[in-house]
Structure 1
């Protein structure tokens, strides 16, 4: 249950309103802290630093921050629309969760709330001369924070919503999710047996909802499998689409009265997320390339850029040993379906090879990228590379009309894969 709440807290913390609410609350507390610290201010200090100027400063902050916040929100919405139209709607969630954007907007809103509370408190006269000193000092600190946020926001606006920046964000989260999964390919448990003998002695547990698996709470499953006779064979991974006819897992040694607790360990949602689903990130990268290759965009450069990023992402597969990592004691009775390298290659390269079949420059870059991955030395990767190279070559050979392009591609592939 703790793991489940951590997941929900992580997802909630990435929503725009979360940081805005924290900054706004901080602004209110900061404006009122002057009332607590006022008794500790020397009597002669207010006349020395000109604390009466705080009224005008707060008024300027309130009016300017309202205008800046409105402008920033409209710019952000425009960037979301640009990413949806020019990149892919699936990548928009990364822009919504962008920390620089959220920090800037939260700073502007929090500063506005701070100045508003300060103006109201000043108008009631509850601060006094000493309280004005504290408020004046805090206001100067807020101004420094606003300037810093503005500078970062101006720099961020130069790339927000652009194709290259959005693609880089997708690459980053995909690489992070893939690294996490490769470090724990079975989420700390045992590999699911390739044969399905367990289905004859275990019973399936079906979900009651329809949606995508977003998170798998392994500690919750471990709690249900404390009995030495119990076993859990997980049939789905984060990113899998499930319905009431699709078993979440097969369980052994667990009574039906625990089925609701068992289902709670599988967090379902309406959409896939990037955190624990590297296949989703690869699919989004392929979607970006496919959209760039469509007749409406005709942007082969973006597709070639995605292929280069794909090499960086998939190259991490060779950095992790193929041997099964040690099983955590708490998860020793849980068996989890692994990622299949061939499916990762299918998710990424099949759409690009299909939509760029007529373009010689895309096919050349694709064959070179596959050859690069094949030289990493991993036998499983090499098998996937050879398969994708052959399929991409067949698609291109049938789609291209220029005989010279066909010969050029055929010769290149023969040179790249002559020893495979």
Structure 2
């Protein structure tokens, strides 16, 4: 994914962008009545009752302002509730929800449409033909509002709930994991073994890598007639001393700047190119549910089901004859052991004293053990044995520990 495309996708998820676009569309619809007035016969205004449009716009303006304010308050409340019940990392997915953004943007745009129409009517800008255009536009806006309200009401029934949060995180993690499984190196070569050469480039910022423009790295490598081997991948936390890449050539200052510019580094991790982040967030939800203050084993079990589905994607074979778009760039494969550590280690620790969670955890690992490669199976066995050891210490009854032991994987 190029940097420009990544920026556009990231910008499109912002609430203000959709609201601004809908607002501009609403204003343009009101102004269209002025432009199209010469094309509309004046007699149509009497036939369709366009003189009453002022009252309709007054109702729309007052009601849409109230609905937009209520919707914004509801969304903020849902963000706070989801952050408290699950994990603050879920809020990012709720904020970028397209249905919620479209609803709020529609209400704001309808309000501005009504406001501009009222001002234009009172200023005497519209003639008889213009009132017809405004009347037709108002009817279309009302239809859009009704459909949006119906969808918004349906969304509010589950927006920000624990189950909705798990589903959203699972979807984001599955999308990133599917991209990773089908094309493990994002169009570059897979790096095997330690990187060659003794030249490297460090970051000039501290934070998490959110996106890497491999096309920019390919251009630098081509110009230097060498290879670039990534040391840090999306999701990695980098500082000023840790190498971002290793090179077998010596880049000039412009090349170093281009390499650093290819890495978008922020304060937080991103779901897009970082499949491990979705796994970490799912594990956080389970651990929050298993805390003494919540003590909700059912949510933890539901989260284990989501983790089972997400990690099963990682077990899928990569695409055959995949196209290598960046021939001079080498990317290390995802470490399966680390993914299993992210997914299950914290859950086995937090749920060690819960028999139900321990049983589901062992069954989940056994399911993953059956479908993966040797590395996949080895990681499942390690987490299974680790969970068993913790259960033996935390479970008060020997019979309960024996049930976990009967399900545990062995070498």
TM-score after normalising by structure 2: 0.97
State the match for 2:34 in structure 1.
Answer: 35
**Count of residues in correspondence between the two structures:** 410
State the match for 1:238 in structure 2.
Answer: 234
**Whole-Å Cα distance in 1 between the matches of residues 203 and 90 of structure 2?**
28
Shift of 1:412: 3.1
- Residue correspondence of structure 1 range 177-256 to structure 2 within 5 A: 177-196=176-195, 198=196, 201-227=197-223, 229-256=225-252
1:402 matches 2:397: yes
**Whole-Å Cα distance in 2 between the matches of residues 209 and 228 of structure 1?**
24
State the match for 1:262 in structure 2.
Answer: 259
Shift of 1:3: 1.6
**Whole-Å Cα distance in 2 between the matches of residues 202 and 137 of structure 1?**
70
State the match for 1:165 in structure 2.
Answer: 164
Contact persistence 1:238–1:276 (CA under 8 A): yes
Contact persistence 2:183–2:322 (CA under 8 A): no
State the match for 2:406 in structure 1.
Answer: 411
What stretches of structure 1 move > 6 A for 4+ residues in a row? none
Which one of the candidate residues 352, 368, 374 is aligned to 2:347?
Answer: 352
State the match for 2:387 in structure 1.
Answer: 392
Shift of 1:255: 2.2
Contact persistence 2:224–2:251 (CA under 8 A): no
- Residue correspondence of structure 1 range 20-31 to structure 2 within 5 A: 20-31=19-30
Contact persistence 1:24–1:106 (CA under 8 A): yes
State the match for 2:374 in structure 1.
Answer: 379
- Residue correspondence of structure 1 range 17-416 to structure 2 within 5 A: 17-196=16-195, 198=196, 201-227=197-223, 229-257=225-253, 258-321=255-318, 326-328=322-324, 330-413=325-408
Q: Which stretch of the first structure deviates more once superposed, 376-385 or 81-90?
A: 376-385
Contact persistence 2:181–2:316 (CA under 8 A): no
Shift of 1:342: 1.2
Contact persistence 1:26–1:110 (CA under 8 A): yes
Unaligned runs of 5+ in 1: none
**Whole-Å Cα distance in 1 between the matches of residues 396 and 93 of structure 2?**
39
Q: CA RMSD in A?
A: 1.5
Shift of 1:326: 3.8
**Whole-Å Cα distance in 1 between the matches of residues 321 and 260 of structure 2?**
27
Contact persistence 1:190–1:327 (CA under 8 A): no
Contact persistence 1:341–1:381 (CA under 8 A): yes
**1:169-193: per-residue Cα shift (whole Å, max 9, x none)?**
0000000001111222111111123
Shift of 1:163: 0.4
